[in-house]
Amino acid sequence: MATVLVIIPAYNEAENLPRVIPALRRALPQADILVVDDHSSDATAQVARSLGARVVRLPNNLGYGGAVQTGFRYGAQQGYRYAVMMDADGQHDPNDAPRLLAPVMAGACDVALGSRFRGKMTYQTSWVRRLGMRAFAFITSSLMDQEITDATSGFQALNRDVMVFFAEENYPSDFPDADTLIMLHFAGFRVQEVPVVMHERLAGESMHGHVLKNMYYILKMFLSIFMVYLRYRTQAGTLRPRPAREVEA
């Protein structure tokens, strides 16, 4: 059995998967690929299966965070030692996946966070999105007491301890970004940034595609960060430094 699981949350990504999955197989031939179909209205599940990926199709649309946590639950239950989390839209370059895994597999960190600002970003974002990214990087760096340049990156590699931790009750249902990094820090996990290349999505619409969506995301993330911090300050021990209990099948 493979020790690495690549988790790809997907909603209406049938057009993009034929370019993402083959490139990922070339980059990580030893890994299993899991596509979590978040109740898509297109042929996402069928396309993923035709490309040889494992597929979990959700009965309802849970949102990005719910789909990712489903992947964590699958990985924890199936006994994978490492996971790579990446998007289905082509924004995350599959060739960077081995580079993300390397420090985690070497034991240098628990989570490797792909940073476009330490690497390269081949597209332009809206001013609202850029403002939010800078603000969250500053807040995350301050609370974690280490420099984090790309707190909103969803391109990550992580070990089994983190997988089990997030497979339980500790993962946001909609926009897991800076708040999860802060949660990991408070729980005693080690986070390390790794330079990666990020591209514009291949096709379809991003969840950050409109100004109103960006504004909602920013406000929601500020609230989520505050709640994580408040939980840590008022409920010592809620965030466990190392999860010992396995997820039940």
> Residues 75, 83: contact at Cβ < 8 Å?
yes
Residue 59 CA to its chain's centroid (Å): 21
Is pLDDT above 90 for 39? yes
More confident residue, 34 or 217: 34
- What pLDDT sits at residue 207? 45
DSSP of 126-164, one letter per residue?
-HHHHHHHHHHHHHHHHHHTS--S-TT---EEEEHHHHH
CATH superfamily of 4-234: Spore Coat Polysaccharide Biosynthesis Protein SpsA; Chain A (3.90.550.10)
> What was the pLDDT predicted at 231?
80
Amino acid at 169: E
Q: Which of 2-11, 116-125, 230-239 has the highest mean pLDDT?
A: 2-11
Q: What is the pTM of this model?
A: 0.86
Q: What is the pLDDT of residue 172?
A: 79
149-185 residue pLDDT tens: 999 999 999 999 999 999 987 787 777 789 999 999 9
**What pLDDT digit, counting tens, does each position of 59-68 carry?**
999 999 999 9
Q: Which tens digit of pLDDT belongs to each residue from 178-232? A: 999 999 999 999 999 999 999 986 665 554 445 577 677 778 888 888 888 888 7
